[in-house]
Structure 1
Amino acid sequence: MSKHKHLTMEDRQRIMQKLNAECSFRKIAKDLGKSPTTISQEVKQNRTVQCSGAYGWPYNPCRHRRNCQERLLCGKLYCRKTNCAYCQQGCSPRCPSFELEDCPKLEKPPYVCNGCQTRNKCTLVATA
């Protein structure tokens, strides 16, 4: 293991590539000659959060988004969406039954969405 405390930008890019390839912290650490703890801390400290939603779906962190029946929370009388869960306006701040749902996968390694099998369908917070 290297005694150097700092990771270079090249190391960080390599970590991102390895996370995209679904490599473990242990494998990444071995490849870089660093401690798995160093890799874990680096990922946790430098991950970025995006509230973008999935392709074709708005960001919606509500626990009830899959079977929500709320309509017209945006105030538009003739909203084209079938219900508020699909609206770009965002039902979350207006909905009386809103409950925040955090992705449980972000609480355990690798702490990011890189390599996640459901990433393309997820409407929760995305991290990289």
Structure 2
Amino acid sequence: MSKKIQTSQKHMNQNDRVVIEKRLDLSVSFRAIGAELGKDPTTIAKEVKKHRVFQEHNKFNEKPYRCANAKDCHKKNV
């Protein structure tokens, strides 16, 4: 980047991570989040990649990865 970003902190704290999470929920770009926190956008992207967690979305009482044609299908244990 052409502009140098001045920060007094070397690491991100919990408050910074909360701000990142809220902004990502609002679909704000890494560049805008970085400008708000005074960090480089790459730092924000690395922080997200480092601490992301994938959650399996599952409806109540349904098996995960259930086929749409499971009731009519004759193949088992595939």
Whether the 8 Å contact between 1:29 and 1:36 is mirrored in structure 2 is: yes
Deviations along 1:66-101, one digit per CA (max 9) or x if unpaired, are: 55653584xxxxxxxxxxxxxxxxxxxx32xxxxxx
Superposed displacement of residue 59, structure 1:
3.2
User: Is 2:17 the partner of 1:12?
Assistant: yes
Larger radius of gyration: 2
User: Is 2:60 the partner of 1:70?
Assistant: no
The one of the two structures with greater contact order (alpha-carbon pairs below 8 A, sep at least 6) is 1
Superposed displacement of residue 51, structure 1:
1.6
The residue identity in structure 1 corresponding to 2:51 is: N
Report the TM-score, using the length of structure 2 for normalisation.
0.71
User: Is 2:55 the partner of 1:50?
Assistant: yes
Q: Measured at CA, do residues 30 and 52 of structure 1 come closer, stay the same or move farther in structure 2, by a change above 3 Å?
A: same
Partners of 1:71 and 1:17 lie apart in 2 by 46
Find the residue that maps to 2:57 and give its secondary structure: coil
Count of residues paired in the alignment = 71
Name the counterpart of 1:26.
31
Q: Measured at CA, do residues 70 and 21 of structure 1 come closer, stay the same or move farther in structure 2, by a change above 3 Å?
A: same
RMSD: 2.6
Q: Measured at CA, do residues 70 and 23 of structure 1 come closer, stay the same or move farther in structure 2, by a change above 3 Å?
A: same
Unaligned 5+ runs, structure 2: none
Partners of 1:58 and 1:3 lie apart in 2 by 49
Partners of 1:58 and 1:32 lie apart in 2 by 42
Q: Measured at CA, do residues 67 and 36 of structure 1 come closer, stay the same or move farther in structure 2, by a change above 3 Å?
A: farther
Pick the structure with more helix per residue.
2
